[in-house]
């Protein structure tokens, strides 16, 4: 048996095609493009690459992007002041604060400076509450992208056992909430979990989101399980031992080309959602 490979690029392409149509409709009605503002603190090369990719994707999808770069010496108050200014700017529809930020920055305080109506990356407490309570709001982009992948490949979630490895506030925790809302039975695993291999071995759906290369061994995977690898480590290595896992799983995401493309696609889709929300005359 060999797993079917989930094509995140193809799923993202479809999301972006729909987003481009809606962005064009917004331009025709309002006279400006939906705008995503990005905030980057410091000079982390990977973060610069991610921001550049998002700007390029905005351009190709018909969105405007506005980039703000603060030096690595910036303090929390300076970043918050910028985020608050963007929150008050009527020409900005969505705000993305690139993370991780330098160690002197209090990330949570910066995130909470984003008004919920522009939190298109789904990082505020208000957005997490919306995910947990299944109410209206923006979803964390990587978790939302993971659900899009599972839906694209007709993975039934109701009644299934889902194991989430990792409990970060913008990936592990929210993806568990989204799975729970779809009637999956969800188990969170973390550094204190006892006998991780046995827990993973019972899962119909495995979400690896811990940031440790090949932590999840292939022989742990239940035959036929759907494996979503949300990790990205140096050398294009995910959190799952891909080759061995693919021999047992029914579906598996590659790294790269799996979760990453849908994360950016959801970010842009939610930016257009935010733009449309301010215009009741524009259908979604």
Residues 102 and 196 in one domain: no
Q: Is residue 95 part of a domain?
A: yes
Residues 100 and 188 in one domain: no
Catalytic residue among 54, 118, 173, 222: 54
Residues 213 and 107 in one domain: no
Residues 35 and 93 in one domain: yes
Cα distances (angstroms) measured from residue 252 to each of 82, 146, 150, 267: 40, 12, 10, 23
Q: Residue 152's domain is classified under what CATH number?
A: 3.40.50.720
Residues 105 and 165 in one domain: no
pTM of the model: 0.95
CA-based torsion, 264, 268, 269, 273: positive or negative: positive
Q: Which of 163, 196, 195 is nearest to 180 (CA)?
A: 163
Question: 165: which strand partners?
Answer: 189, 208
Packing angle between helix 45-61 and helix 8-30, nearest 10 degrees? 60
Residues 191 and 99 in one domain: no
- In terms of Cβ atoms closer than 10 Å to its own Cβ (0-12, 13-18, 19+), residue 186 is buried
Cα distances (angstroms) measured from residue 216 to each of 145, 172, 196, 197, 229: 21, 15, 9, 8, 9
**151 CB contacts (<8 Å, ≥6 apart)?**
none
Catalytic residue among 93, 118, 119, 121: 121
Residues 150 and 254 in one domain: yes
Residues 51 and 101 in one domain: yes
Q: Is residue 109 part of a domain?
A: yes
The secondary structure of residue 116, as a DSSP letter, is: G
- Residue 192 is a catalytic residue: no
Q: Is residue 271 part of a domain?
A: no
Residues 187 and 111 in one domain: no
- Residue 121 is a catalytic residue: yes
The predicted structure's pLDDT at residue 284? 46
Which residue shows structure tokens 């963007």?
86
Residues 77 and 170 in one domain: no
Residues 165 and 199 in one domain: yes
Residues 146 and 246 in one domain: yes
Cα distances (angstroms) measured from residue 198 to each of 3, 79, 169, 217, 221: 21, 44, 25, 11, 9
Range(s) of the domain holding residue 252: 141-260
Q: Is residue 130 part of a domain?
A: no
The number of distinct structural domains making up the chain is 2
- Residue 118 is a catalytic residue: no
Which residue shows structure tokens 């603060």?
70
Taking the chain (284 residues) in runs of 10, the rounded mean pLDDT of each run is: 94 98 97 98 90 95 98 98 98 96 97 98 97 95 98 98 97 98 98 98 98 97 98 94 98 97 97 88 54
Q: Is residue 205 part of a domain?
A: yes
Cα distances (angstroms) measured from residue 48 to each of 75, 101, 112: 19, 12, 23
Q: Is residue 24 part of a domain?
A: no
Q: Is 266 left (phi over 0), alpha (psi -120 to 50) or beta?
A: alpha
Q: Is residue 68 part of a domain?
A: yes
Which residue shows structure tokens 């979400």?
207
Domain endpoint, select from 115, 149, 182: 115
The predicted structure's pLDDT at residue 46? 86
User: Please, are residues 201 and 175 in contact by the beta-carbon 8 Å criterion?
Assistant: no
Catalytic residue among 93, 98, 204, 270: 98
Q: Residue 90's domain is classified under what CATH number?
A: 3.40.50.10860
Q: Is residue 267 part of a domain?
A: no
The first and second tokens of residue 267, run together, are 């970010």
Which residue shows structure tokens 């061994």?
217
């Amino acid at each position: 048996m060999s797993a079917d490979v989930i094509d995140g690029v193809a799923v993202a392409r479809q999301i972006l095609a729909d987003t481009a149509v809606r962005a064009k409709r917004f331009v025709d009605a309002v006279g400006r493009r939906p705008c995503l503002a990005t905030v980057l603190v410091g000079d982390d090369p990977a973060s610069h690459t991610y921001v550049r990719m998002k700007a390029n994707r905005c351009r190709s999808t018909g969105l405007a992007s506005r980039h703000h770069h603060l030096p690595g010496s910036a303090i929390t108050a300076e970043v918050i002041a910028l985020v608050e200014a963007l929150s008050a700017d009527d020409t900005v529809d969505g705000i993305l604060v690139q993370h991780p930020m330098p160690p002197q920055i209090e990330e949570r305080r910066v995130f909470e400076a984003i008004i919920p109506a522009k939190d298109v990356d789904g990082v505020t407490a208000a957005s997490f509450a919306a995910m947990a309570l299944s109410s209206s709001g923006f979803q964390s982009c990587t978790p939302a992208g993971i659900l899009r992948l599972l839906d694209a490949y007709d993975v039934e979630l109701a009644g299934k056992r889902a194991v989430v490895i990792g409990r970060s506030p913008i990936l592990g925790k929210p993806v568990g909430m989204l799975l729970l809302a779809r009637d999956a039975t969800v188990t969170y695993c973390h550094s204190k979990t006892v006998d991780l291999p046995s827990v993973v071995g019972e899962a119909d759906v495995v979400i690896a989101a811990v940031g440790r290369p090949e932590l999840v061994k292939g022989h742990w995977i239940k035959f036929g399980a759907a494996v979503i690898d949300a990790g990205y480590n140096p050398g294009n290595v995910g959190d799952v031992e891909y080759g061995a896992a693919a021999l047992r799983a029914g579906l598996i995401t590659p790294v790269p080309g799996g979760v990453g493309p849908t994360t950016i696609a959801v970010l842009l889709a939610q930016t257009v959602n935010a733009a449309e929300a301010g215009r009741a005359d524009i259908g979604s």
